[in-house]
Structure 1
Amino acid sequence: MKVVRSKDFKAERAWGATDIANMSGITTRLHWTDQPYKWHVNDGEEVFVVLDGQVDMLYRLNGEEESVLLNAGDIFFASVGTEHVAHPRGEVRVLVVEREGSV
């Protein structure tokens, strides 16, 4: 049993995380950041949930760069092969569900 108060979580560095669960190789982690990540393609699917703050999610679709503003409560699903990068607007907390060891 575990209770996590996401609004109280702050990592020591950008994209620092605390592990919530590992269910048969699928991890759920709470991340804190105030800096962009890097363009990447995950090793599998990824669910990205904004819990606090706003994130500009940039992604490439058919070679074209697109973006969407994610607010608290919004969910971004990156299917296999989706190149993407998250750019927070200030401090954010996000819940990420993905295969263990993914980028």
Structure 2
Amino acid sequence: MIFLNARTFKAERAWGAADITEIDTATVRLHWTDEPYVWHVNDGPEVFAVLDGAVDMHYRRDGEEHVERLTPGVVCYAEPGDEHVAHPAPEARILVIERKGSL
């Protein structure tokens, strides 16, 4: 069994992660960050669950940029092809489940 305290987890760099497990072709990782990621489009589905802090999820739909605030308990599902970038506010710990090797 593995136990991680998300409230105290901190990586050595922004978007560093603790690899929790792989389930079939998906990875489950706990990320810490205090910097935005980069705009990207995943080739597979991606699930974000903020465990500590907050994340402003920027995404584009029909050429327009939108922002949704993710706080603990709010889950975001990004479908393949959804263009998005996560901005911590000001730092966050996020459980991410995605296809192994995805951006």
Deviation (angstroms), 1:6 = 1.0
**CA-atom RMSD in angstroms:** 0.7
CA distance in 1 between counterparts of 2:8 and 2:89 reads 18
CA distance in 1 between counterparts of 2:64 and 2:91 reads 28
CA distance in 1 between counterparts of 2:73 and 2:96 reads 13
Please report the TM-score for the alignment, with normalisation by the length of structure 2. Answer: 0.97
Amino acid at match of 1:55: V
CA distance in 1 between counterparts of 2:17 and 2:76 reads 18
Q: Number of matched residues?
A: 103
CA distance in 1 between counterparts of 2:22 and 2:48 reads 16
What percentage of aligned pairs have identical amino acids? 58
- 5+ residue gaps, structure 1, are none
Q: Which residue of 2 aligns with 1:85?
A: 85
Looking at secondary structure, tell me which structure has more strand per residue: 2
Q: Which residue of 2 aligns with 1:74?
A: 74
3-state secondary structure, aligned to 1:90: strand
Written as runs of structure 1 = structure 2, the 5 A alignment for 1:52-63 is 52-63=52-63
3-state secondary structure, aligned to 2:4: coil
CA distance in 2 between counterparts of 1:10 and 1:20 reads 14
- 5+ residue gaps, structure 2, are none
Please report the TM-score for the alignment, with normalisation by the length of structure 1. Answer: 0.97
